[in-house]
Amino acid sequence: MKVLITGSNGLLGQYLVQRLAGLPEYEVIATGRGANRLRIQQGYTYESVNLADESAVKGLVERHQPQVIVHAGAMTQADDCERNKDACWMVNVTATRYLLQGAEKAGAYFVFLSTDFVFDGLAGPYKEDDPVNPINYYGASKVAAERIVKQSKAKWGIARTVLVYGLADDPRRSNIITWVKSNLEQKKKLKVVSDQWRTPTLVQDLAEGVKLMLDKKAEGVYHLSGKDMLTPFEMAIQVADYLELDTKLLEKVDASTFKQPAPRPGRTGFVIDKAVQDLGYAPHSFEEGLKVVIEQLKPK
């Protein structure tokens, strides 16, 4: 099966390319902006593509004629989206339309990656059919893109996820585990939010969930996240405890402490029963995911 993956330089893209490229039944075409930044560069084809360029996107799909398109490329930093709404809309909405038009022409199954930020955070954890009501521009752009996907003539699936963490090939990219570890090892105090709730998602679990969707050509919306509802402060405490670092350096604060352009929903998180039942999705607990990431950090 020939699969085209956008956003391959991103965290999910990196793990999805590596997961599928190692399987004989998949032929992988990876795309991202600029050079290929993945550590492993064999076993798949890479092309640099600007998703905002309609002719380039359609040309890419026409050249490769994929049977599956996984659209993981996006502008995902909520504050950046709030500051630069035109760029956000172009990357998250318009580019999705270009890819869908290519998918319709190629007869490809289309999987779109979305977010818990489509919800307002007043009633989490959320099921797939709960009404969306975004409170920031990033969430609004994803709702608009989801609507385009649902109206498409292509066979489609939407994979929503929550607060993805894991170790990127690019050492400059941080996550909550490495952020807490690095600061506490340097005896730095950290202010950590305690009034937002999420079901944090290990990137390996998300990549596996997307693969399960591809294996079954699963149609409709699926919630793919971790199973533990935690605040960032609770996550930070677990990291400190596991690494035997000083938890007294962690200060519990509420979200109003930080002046951020994009408002954040209070309580999101997902009910993942549908993915568990339909796909056989089986994510790690946060404690297990923490161990996976720490193990990856050890020198090989």
Q: Specify the pLDDT at position 119.
A: 98
The number of CA neighbours under 13 Å toward the Cβ of 79 is 4
- The answer, yes or no, to whether residue 279 has pLDDT greater than 90, is yes
- The answer, yes or no, to whether residue 300 has pLDDT greater than 80, is no
- The answer, yes or no, to whether residue 151 has pLDDT greater than 90, is yes
3-state secondary structure the chain: CEEEEECCCCHHHHHHHHHHHCCCCCEEEEEECCCCCCCCCCCCEEEECCCCCHHHHHHHHHHHCCCEEEECCCCCCHHHHHHCHHHHHHHHHHHHHHHHHHHHHHCCEEEEEEEHHHCCCCCCCECCCCCCCCCCHHHHHHHHHHHHHHHCCCCEEEEEECCEECCCCCCCCCCHHHHHHHHHHCCCCEEEECCCEECCEEHHHHHHHHHHHHHHCCCEEEECCCCCCECHHHHHHHHHHHHCCCHHHEEEECHHHCCCCCCCCCECCECCHHHHHHHCCCCCCHHHHHHHHHHHHCCC
Q: Specify the pLDDT at position 247.
A: 97
CB 138 within 8 A of CB 81: yes
Task: Say which CATH architecture domain 2-165+201-229+269-284 belongs to.
Answer: 3-Layer(aba) Sandwich (3.40)
Provide the pLDDT confidence category of residue 275 given band limits of 50, 70 and 90: very high
Q: Specify the pLDDT at position 54.
A: 96
Q: Specify the pLDDT at position 114.
A: 98
Provide the pLDDT confidence category of residue 152 given band limits of 50, 70 and 90: very high
pLDDT in tens, 102-121: 999 999 999 999 999 999 99
Q: Specify the pLDDT at position 171.
A: 74
pLDDT in tens, 194-224: 999 999 999 999 999 999 999 999 999 999 9
Q: Specify the pLDDT at position 298.
A: 87
Provide the pLDDT confidence category of residue 71 given band limits of 50, 70 and 90: very high
pLDDT in tens, 118-131: 999 999 999 999 99
Q: Specify the pLDDT at position 173.
A: 82
For the chain, the domains span 2-165+201-229+269-284
Q: Is 129 exposed, middle or buried (CB count within 10 Å of its CB: 0-12, 13-18, 19+)? A: exposed
Give the pLDDT mean for 53-60.
Answer: 95
- The answer, yes or no, to whether residue 294 has pLDDT greater than 90, is yes
Q: How far is CA 16 from CA 12, 23, 70, 201, 293, in A?
A: 6, 11, 9, 14, 17
Give the pLDDT mean for 48-76.
Answer: 96
Q: Specify the pLDDT at position 287.
A: 97
- Nearest-angstrom CA–CA distance, 40 and 42: 6
pLDDT in tens, 219-263: 999 999 999 999 999 999 999 999 999 999 999 999 999 889 999
